[in-house]
Amino acid sequence: MPVRESASTRNTFASTFSPLRHLRSVVLVSAATMLTVGLVAGCSKTDDNSANIVRTTTNIAGAGVVGLERDTAKACPLPSSPDSASGTKTVNHAAGTSEVPADAKRIVVLSTPALDAVCALGLWERVVGAATVTGATAQPAYLGTGIAAIPGIGPVGDPDPAKIAALKPDLILGAAADGNRYDALQAIAPTVLVGDENGWQATFSGFAEAMDRKTAGARALDDYRTAAHDAGVAANSSFTQASVIRFDPKSIQVQGGNSFAAQVLGDAGVQRPQPQRADSFEVTSLSTETDRDKIEGDLIFLMFDGPDGLKYGKSIMQGDDWKKLGAVMDRREFAVEDAIWHGSGITAARALLDDMRANLNGFVGD
C-alpha cells in the first residue's frame, strides 16, 4: 500500500495511489486493552476492496494488537535427521573448538536463539534444561506450551552450573555472550557458543551445525526464504513502507536495517522509510516534524521492552505529537510481540511473516 499524500516528507515514500486509504469507515467493537501482543483479524464484507482489509479489534493506546490468535501447536516441526548416524564431529565456534556428538540426545540451551533453532529443527523434546527469560512465561510464548514446560536452569545470562550438571547433558548450546563461563560449561559437556555478528541466519546455521543438522538447517532456511517471498507477494509488500520501532523505558528505538525485524521484512520485500534503512538508532523526542519523520511510515509496527517500555510507550502514544503522525491518523499502528519482532531465529521469523501478511494492508477498528 502506498503512502497517503500529505505535506510531510513521507510523500517521497511512494507515488502509487491505492483505494485502501478510502476504506477506513468500517467500525468494529474494540476489546479491552491487553499487554500480550499478537494477532486478531476481523473483516466485514462491504465490497470487493474492503473484503481484503484486516482490521484489528484489540488495542494498546490506539494501536491494534497483533497475534492474539497465534497457533503455536505446530511451531516446532517433526524431528529432522542428523548428517551422521553416529560418532562425533568437530565444531569451530565463537569460544573455540568442541568435539560434539553426531546426534545429541540431552541438550541444554542457554539462549533464546539457540532454543528457537532447536525448535526449528524439531529437536525440542531433547532439551532437558533451558535458561529462562523475564516475563509472564519462562520461555517465549511463540515457541509453544511444550517448550514452556522445559525445566529451567537459571536466567539467560546467569545459568546455574550445578543445575546444568545435574541434568547430565551431552550437548550445551549458548550465545557468544556466555564465553566467560565456557570452561566451566565445557567441563560438564561439549559446549558450542554461537555469535550473532553475521546475522540471524548465520547464527541459526551455527546451531544447526552443532546439532549435526547442517543439511536440515540449510533446507529450513531455503523453506523460510520461499515462505518470505510468498508472504510478500500475497501482501503486495513492495507497495508499502513499514516503520518499525521499539519503546524501551526511556526512548524510542527505531529498528534499522541491522535489526532482526528489518531483515525478515526485507526478505519479504517490504520497503522501509528512508531514515530507517541504515542501522538502528534512538529517538527521544517527537516535538518536531523532523523528529516525527524518523518514525513515520505507511504503517507503524511497534513493540515494548517489558512493562517499563509499555508504560513509556503508552505515555508517548497518548501525546499530541504522536497523534500528528500520518500512520496514526490513518489508524495504521500495530503492537507486535517483542519476543518475535526483537528476537532471532527461523521460528520467530515465520511468526513475524504471519503478522506481516495479516496486517501490512490493515487498519485498526474503532
Residues 153 and 254 in one domain: no
- pLDDT attached to residue 47: 37
Residues 181 and 269 in one domain: no
Residues 167 and 255 in one domain: no
Flag whether pLDDT at 277 surpasses 60. yes
Flag whether pLDDT at 51 surpasses 80. no
| In-domain check, residue 179 | yes
Out of 196, 212, 228, pick the residue that ends a domain.
Answer: 212
Choose the weakest-confidence range: 18-22, 89-93, 291-295, 351-355. 18-22
Flag whether pLDDT at 285 surpasses 80. yes
- pLDDT attached to residue 45: 33
Paired with 192 in beta bridges are 173
Flag whether pLDDT at 172 surpasses 90. yes
| In-domain check, residue 18 | yes
- pLDDT attached to residue 39: 33
Contact between 16 and 239 (Cβ < 8 Å): yes
| CA 185 to mean position of chain CA atoms | 29
Q: Where do runs of H (alpha helix) occur along the chain?
A: 112-120, 145-148, 161-166, 182-188, 200-210, 214-234, 260-267, 289-293, 306-317, 320-323, 326-329, 338-341, 346-359
The arithmetic mean of pLDDT across residues 331-344, rounded, is 97
Phi-psi sector, 7: left (phi>0), alpha (psi -120 to 50), beta = alpha
| CA 108 to mean position of chain CA atoms | 23
The arithmetic mean of pLDDT across residues 335-355, rounded, is 97
Domain span holding position 170: 88-212
Paired with 244 in beta bridges are 301
Phi-psi sector, 12: left (phi>0), alpha (psi -120 to 50), beta = alpha
Which is higher by pLDDT, 173 or 73?
173
| In-domain check, residue 125 | yes
Residues 347 and 278 in one domain: yes
- pLDDT attached to residue 150: 96
Choose the weakest-confidence range: 78-82, 194-198, 237-241, 345-349. 194-198
C-alpha cell at 111: 539462549
- pLDDT attached to residue 16: 33
Residues 203 and 102 in one domain: yes
How far apart, in Å, are the Cα atoms of 171 and each of 70, 128, 187, 210, 353? 31, 10, 11, 9, 31
pLDDT digits (tens, 9 = 90+) for 288-309: 999 999 999 999 999 999 999 9
Flag whether pLDDT at 43 surpasses 70. no
Residues 60 and 109 in one domain: no
Nearest to 263 by CA among 242, 249, 240, 236: 242
Confidence (pTM):
0.84
Residues 160 and 248 in one domain: no
- pLDDT attached to residue 50: 38
Helix, strand, coil percent content, the chain, rounded in steps of 5: 40, 20, 45
Which is higher by pLDDT, 73 or 31?
73
C-alpha cell at 175: 550465545
- pLDDT attached to residue 85: 79
pLDDT grade for 27, boundaries at 50, 70 and 90: very low
Flag whether pLDDT at 175 surpasses 90. yes
CA dihedral 27, 333, 264, 103 (to 10 degrees): -80
Calculate what percentage of the chain has a pLDDT beyond 70.
84
| In-domain check, residue 234 | no
In the numeric block, the cell 535458561 is attached to 131
Flag whether pLDDT at 2 surpasses 50. no
| CA 113 to mean position of chain CA atoms | 11
| In-domain check, residue 349 | yes
Q: DSSP 3-state assignment of 339? A: helix
| In-domain check, residue 221 | no
**CATH label of the domain that carries residue 307:** 3.40.50.1980
Flag whether pLDDT at 15 surpasses 50. no
Flag whether pLDDT at 145 surpasses 70. yes
| In-domain check, residue 78 | no
- pLDDT attached to residue 135: 85
- pLDDT attached to residue 136: 85
- pLDDT attached to residue 57: 54
- pLDDT attached to residue 25: 30
Residues 275 and 307 in one domain: yes
The arithmetic mean of pLDDT across residues 130-158, rounded, is 94
As for how many domains the chain has, the answer is 2
pLDDT digits (tens, 9 = 90+) for 102-113: 999 999 999 999
| In-domain check, residue 1 | no
pLDDT digits (tens, 9 = 90+) for 176-191: 999 999 999 999 999 9
- pLDDT attached to residue 63: 96
Residues 254 and 202 in one domain: no
Residue 194 CB coordination number (10 Å): 27
Residues 18 and 58 in one domain: yes
Residues 360 and 245 in one domain: yes
pLDDT grade for 58, boundaries at 50, 70 and 90: confident
Residues 110 and 43 in one domain: no
Residue 130 CB coordination number (10 Å): 29
